[in-house]
Amino acid sequence: MSEMIVSVKKLKKSFKGFKALEDVSFSVYKNDVFGFLGPNGAGKSTSLRCMLSLIEADDGHIEIFGKSLRKNRFEVLSNIGSIIEKPDFYKYLSAFKNLEIMARISGRQVSKSEIEDIIHFVGLEGREKSKFKTYSHGMKQRLGIAQALMHNPELIILDEPTTGLDPQGIVDIRELIIKLSKEQGKTVILSSHQLSEIEMIANRMVIINKGKSIIEGEVNELLNSSQMMVKFSSDDPKKFCSILTKEFSDIADLKVTDSEIEFEINRENIPEINSLMVGQNINISGIEQKRKLEDYFIKMIQNEK
C-alpha cells in the first residue's frame, strides 16, 4: 500500500450546541483521487475546513504528510492547494493580481512566469488582466483551480468543484482531476453529493452522513459489489415471495408491497429468479436493480429531504 498522506481520526465539532461532526474518520493515500461523499449537510465542508485549519475541531486528530496539522500548520498548508465552497477572489483586482497576492503567501516562491503558465493551464489566457468581477462562473472555478495549483502542492482538496458548471465544464474539471492524479502524481480529495461523479473519477472514497463516517474503501469494491438491491413488480407478490424464500436462502432485506417485492440478492441470481417466476406463471411487469451502496446513498438523500 502506498504512503498515507492524510489521517483523520474521530473528528468532532459542534456549533452552538448543533453537532456538525460527531465521528468522522478516514485515510487518504498518495496518488489517491479520494471521494468524500455525503448528502448536503452531512459535514463534508466542515470536515474539510477542519483539515485546512479554517475551523478548530472540538476533538479528534488530523495528520497530513505524517505531521500534526495543529503543530505544523505552515509546513502542511504550504503543500496543500484547495478550493472550499466557491472560489472567492478580490473583485476589484484582475485575475493575475489575485494570483500574485495568493502566491506571495503560498509558502513557496512562485514566479510571474509560473503564474502565467498556470493561467494558460486552466485556459484563462487572454483574460488574466480582466477584473475578477467580470468572470463567468466557469472562469471563476478555473481561477480557483489555478490558485490551488500554482505553488505545485502535493495534496489538492476540492469541495464540490463542479457545482454550477455546464456539462462541458464538468467534463473539463473531471479530466483535469484525472490528469493531476495520473500525470502529475498529485493526491486529490474531492467532495461531492453525487455518487456518479465520485464513481467516475475516484479510486477510494468515504461516505459520511449526519457528521459520521459510514463506510470507507475502494470505489470498485464498494460500488461494484455483487450484492444488489432488486425490485420486482408483479401482480401476485405473495406467491412470488413464497417461491423466492423457498428456493433462495441468501435473500436479505425483503420488503413486500401490493405490487412490488424488493430484496437484496447476489446479482448472478437475478436471471434465475426471473426464469423461475415466469415458469411458475407469475407475471413480472418490471425489474429494477441498484447496487446496494447506491441504494443506501439515495435513501440517505431522500431522508434528508
Partner 1 sequence: MLLKNTHNELIKILAKPRSYIGFIALTVLIGVILLAMKADGENFISFVTASFEQTLSFNGLILNGNLIAFIILQMLIIHVPLLVALVTGDLVSGEAAMGTLRMMGTKPISRNSFLLSKFLAGAIYTFFLTLWLAFLSLIVGQFMFGTGDLIVLNSDGLVIIPEYDIMWRYGLAFCLAYLSLLSIATMSICFSVFSDNSIGPIVSTMAVIILFTIIGSLDVSTFDYIQPFLITTHMASWRSLFEIPIPYDAIMDSIIILFVHIIGFTLLALWWFNKKDINT
| Residue 102 lies near partner 1 (rule: CB under 8 A) | yes
| Residue 56 lies near partner 1 (rule: CB under 8 A) | yes
Q: For the CB of residue 68, give the shortest distance to partner 1 in the complex, in Å.
A: 15
C-alpha–C-alpha distance, residues 236 and 225, integer Å: 30
As to burial, measured by CB atoms within 10 angstroms (0-12 exposed, 13-18 middle, 19+ buried), residue 21 is: buried
| Residue 82 lies near partner 1 (rule: CB under 8 A) | yes
* Candidate ranges 94-102, 172-180, 185-193, 232-240; the one touching partner 1 (CB under 8 A): 94-102
| Residue 59 lies near partner 1 (rule: CB under 8 A) | no
As to burial, measured by CB atoms within 10 angstroms (0-12 exposed, 13-18 middle, 19+ buried), residue 252 is: exposed
| Residue 101 lies near partner 1 (rule: CB under 8 A) | yes
| Residue 70 lies near partner 1 (rule: CB under 8 A) | no
- DSSP assignment, residue 131? B
Backbone CA torsion sign across 246, 247, 250, 256 = negative
| Residue 18 lies near partner 1 (rule: CB under 8 A) | no
Beta-bridged to residue 229, according to DSSP, are: 264, 290
| Residue 91 lies near partner 1 (rule: CB under 8 A) | yes
Contacts of 200 (CB under 8 A, 6+ apart): 174
* Candidate ranges 61-69, 90-98, 194-202, 262-270; the one touching partner 1 (CB under 8 A): 90-98
Q: Give me 155's grid cell.
A: 495534496
Q: For the CB of residue 54, give the shortest distance to partner 1 in the complex, in Å.
A: 4
SS3 39: coil
| Residue 97 lies near partner 1 (rule: CB under 8 A) | yes
| Residue 149 lies near partner 1 (rule: CB under 8 A) | no
Name the residue nearer to partner 1 (CB basis): 47 or 234. Answer: 47
| Residue 77 lies near partner 1 (rule: CB under 8 A) | yes
Contacts of 23 (CB under 8 A, 6+ apart): 10, 11, 12, 211, 212, 213
| Residue 88 lies near partner 1 (rule: CB under 8 A) | yes
* Candidate ranges 80-88, 111-119, 262-270, 288-296; the one touching partner 1 (CB under 8 A): 80-88
| Residue 192 lies near partner 1 (rule: CB under 8 A) | no
CA distances for 17 relative to 21, 22, 41, 56, 213, angstroms: 11, 12, 16, 15, 20
Q: Quick one: which of 97, 96, 98, 77 has its CA closest to 87? A: 98
* Candidate ranges 34-42, 96-104, 238-246, 279-287; the one touching partner 1 (CB under 8 A): 96-104
Name the residue nearer to partner 1 (CB basis): 131 or 292. Answer: 131
| Residue 92 lies near partner 1 (rule: CB under 8 A) | yes
* Candidate ranges 28-36, 99-107, 167-175, 213-221; the one touching partner 1 (CB under 8 A): 99-107
Beta-bridged to residue 37, according to DSSP, are: 192, 207
Residues of the shown chain interacting with partner 1 in the complex, contacts defined by CB under 8 A: 15, 49, 52-56, 73-78, 80, 82, 84-93, 97, 101-102, 104-107, 147
